[in-house]
């Protein structure tokens, strides 16, 4: 039996060693500042004590395995040991994932899943503007991005045109956030028409939209591209909220629980309203609101610092961190009520909640502390008892001991006082007086006579 246990331990150690050897994640040090120009890098900036970093570790190894044949090198850097390198790349939180190609640096702001990180690398590692030279290539691109969006510049191939220069410059800055293509009129199928030439189009939601500003300034084109890079009503996770917030729009968040069969009818009705608002009412609300749906109620709980039950409708102002709940019951939702609700938010006729004031920051501290305690309890009872039960027991014992010691001192002091009083009583001449009284008193039998 002893031999078997040794074999098991050896096999476990060997498997762990092989896993470390086969890992395609490069461990970086301070020399990376000199190596950064040697090709393309995907770097995770982490801290050994960070729980989120530990959770990301197996996912990041999968990313490295997936990108094994890709020219990008997957690496990580311990920011507690090489803080100067982390500062050079403006790392302010852990984990932070960046794509680095010489002087070009892009930060991953999406979900920390293998799919999202690999997609981030594909966007960032390709040319800022990809060539789409034929209808065949267009159809391939449309199929590839059927669940997302992509931009297409249509011109005569003149890279010196003013619009193309602006377009390519924006594409270089936002290469990790969207796909950018360029082509000619021959690239478009017959059913896609434009109102001007050259122009910029976005394809998403089985249709297309054209950049229509009469004065095509750099800022207006950049703002249009930034606001159009998401589908009208996408499914998102908590990690994508930060990326969506960069559009500057208020987020209309519809949170549902698809597994709740008792509310399935209400869930479908609420989701259908969101889809209708995003598509049929696009001209009215698209400039100010980004619609989305999600199944992660914990995200809206964190935003509102409350414990909500699905379905939930929440409008979040990403600039002020204010949020709004509908002034009607979710079960009574209609297109008209939702439209009126959003219109009054836009016109400033509804009192906002949340914000960044002192009371909200104080509330955030207590909420984070409470949720941390709850998460520890749910994940491990033993860890909870070790972190909170044991210290509480020790403090209780210490306090009890102190109280008992103070009580014992009081009793001792009382006994001492009594002894001192007794000594004073019997040393102050009272003993002599008692003796004298006994001597002068008659015997009991004499008194009886």
Taking only the tens place, the pLDDT of each residue in 254-265 is: 999 999 999 999
Q: Which of 50, 79, 403, 404 is catalytic?
A: 50
Does residue 403 carry a catalytic annotation? no
| pTM, two decimal places | 0.77
Predicted confidence band of residue 407 (pLDDT cuts 50, 70, 90) = low
| Three-state secondary-structure class, residue 80 | coil
Confidence band of 379 (pLDDT split at 50, 70, 90): low
Give the CA count within 13 Å in the CB-facing half-sphere of 44.
26
Q: CATH 3.40.30.10 in the chain, residues?
A: 22-123, 127-228, 238-356
Pick the CATH number of 127-228 from 3.40.50.9100, 3.40.50.2300, 2.40.240.10, 3.40.30.10: 3.40.30.10
CATH number of 22-123: 3.40.30.10
Confidence band, pLDDT 50/70/90 cuts, at residue 223: very high
Contact 312, 305 (CB under 8 A): no
Catalytic residue among 53, 79, 403, 404: 53
Pairwise CA distance, residues 73 & 24, whole Å: 9
* Sign of the four-CA dihedral 15, 17, 21, 26: positive
**What one-character DSSP code corresponds to residue 72?**
S
With cut-offs at 50, 70 and 90, classify the pLDDT of residue 388: low
Regarding the domain with residue range 238-356, which homologous superfamily does it belong to in the CATH classification?
Glutaredoxin (3.40.30.10)
Q: What pLDDT is stored for residue 2 in this prediction?
A: 43
Range with the poorest average pLDDT among 245-249, 258-262, 444-448? 444-448
Question: Is residue 368 reached through a cis peptide bond, with omega within 30 degrees of 0 on the bond before it?
Answer: no
Confidence of residue 392 (pLDDT cuts 50, 70, 90): confident
Whether a cis peptide bond, with omega within 30° of 0, leads into 391 is: no
Q: What is the rounded CA–CA span in Å between residue 12 and residue 73?
A: 29
338 cis-preceded (ω within 30 degrees of 0): no
Mean pLDDT of 275-295: 96
Q: Check: CB of residue 218 under 8 Å from CB of residue 174.
A: no
Q: Pick the residue with more confidence: 377 or 57?
A: 57
Give the mean model confidence (pLDDT) for residues 60-74: 94
Task: Give the mean model confidence (pLDDT) for residues 257-282.
Answer: 94
Q: CA–CA separation, 87 vs 137, rounded Å?
A: 42
Torsion angle, alpha carbons of 365, 366, 369, 370, to 10: -150
Using DSSP's 3-state secondary structure scheme, residue 293 falls into: strand
399: annotated active-site residue: no
Tokens of 25: 């994640």
Asked whether residue 372 carries a pLDDT value surpassing 90, the answer given is no
Indicate the average pLDDT of the chain: 85
């Amino acid at each position: 039996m002893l031999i078997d246990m040794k074999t098991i331990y050896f096999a476990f150690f060997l498997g762990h060693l092989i896993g470390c050897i086969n890992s395609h994640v490069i461990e970086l040090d301070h020399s990376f500042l000199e190596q950064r120009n040697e090709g393309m890098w995907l770097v995770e900036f982490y801290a050994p004590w960070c729980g989120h970093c530990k959770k990301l570790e197996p996912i990041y190894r999968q990313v490295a395995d997936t990108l094994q044949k890709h020219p990008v090198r997957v690496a990580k850097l311990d920011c507690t040991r090489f803080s100067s390198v982390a500062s050079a790349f403006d790392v302010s939180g852990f984990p932070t994932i960046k794509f680095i190609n010489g002087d070009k640096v892009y930060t991953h702001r999406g979900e920390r899943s293998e799919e999202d990180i690999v997609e981030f690398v594909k966007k960032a590692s390709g040319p800022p503007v990809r060539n789409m030279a034929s209808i065949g290539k267009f159809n391939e691109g449309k199929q590839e991005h059927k669940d997302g969006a992509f931009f297409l510049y249509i011109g005569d191939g003149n890279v010196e045109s003013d619009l193309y220069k602006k377009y390519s410059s924006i594409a270089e800055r936002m290469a990790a956030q969207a796909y950018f293509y360029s082509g000619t009129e021959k690239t478009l199928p017959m059913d896609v028409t434009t109102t001007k030439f050259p122009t910029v189009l976005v394809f998403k939601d089985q249709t297309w939209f054209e950049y229509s500003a009469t004065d095509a300034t750099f800022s207006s084109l950049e703002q249009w591209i930034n606001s159009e890079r998401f589908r009208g009503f996408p499914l998102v996770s908590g990690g994508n909220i930060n990326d969506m917030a960069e559009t500057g729009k208020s987020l209309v968040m519809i949170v549902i629980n698809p597994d709740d069969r008792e509310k399935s009818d209400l869930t479908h009705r609420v989701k259908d309203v969101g889809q209708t608002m995003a598509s049929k009412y696009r001209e009215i609300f698209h400039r100010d609101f980004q619609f989305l749906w999600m199944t992660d109620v914990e995200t809206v709980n964190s935003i509102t610092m409350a414990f909500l039950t699905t379905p939930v409708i929440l409008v979040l102002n990403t600039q002020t961190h204010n949020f709004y709940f509908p002034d009607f019951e979710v079960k009574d939702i209609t297109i008209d009520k939702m439209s009126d609700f959003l219109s009054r938010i836009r016109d400033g006729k509804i009192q906002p909640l949340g914000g960044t004031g002192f009371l909200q920051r104080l509330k955030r501290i207590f909420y984070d502390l409470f949720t941390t305690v709850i998460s520890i309890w749910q994940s491990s009872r033993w860890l909870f008892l070790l972190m909170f039960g044991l210290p509480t027991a020790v403090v209780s014992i210490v306090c009890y001991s102190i109280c008992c010691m103070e009580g014992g001192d009081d009793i001792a002091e009382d006994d001492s006082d009594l002894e001192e009083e007794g000594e004073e009583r019997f040393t102050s001449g009272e003993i002599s007086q008692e003796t004298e009284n006994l001597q002068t008193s008659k015997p009991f039998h004499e008194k009886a006579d």
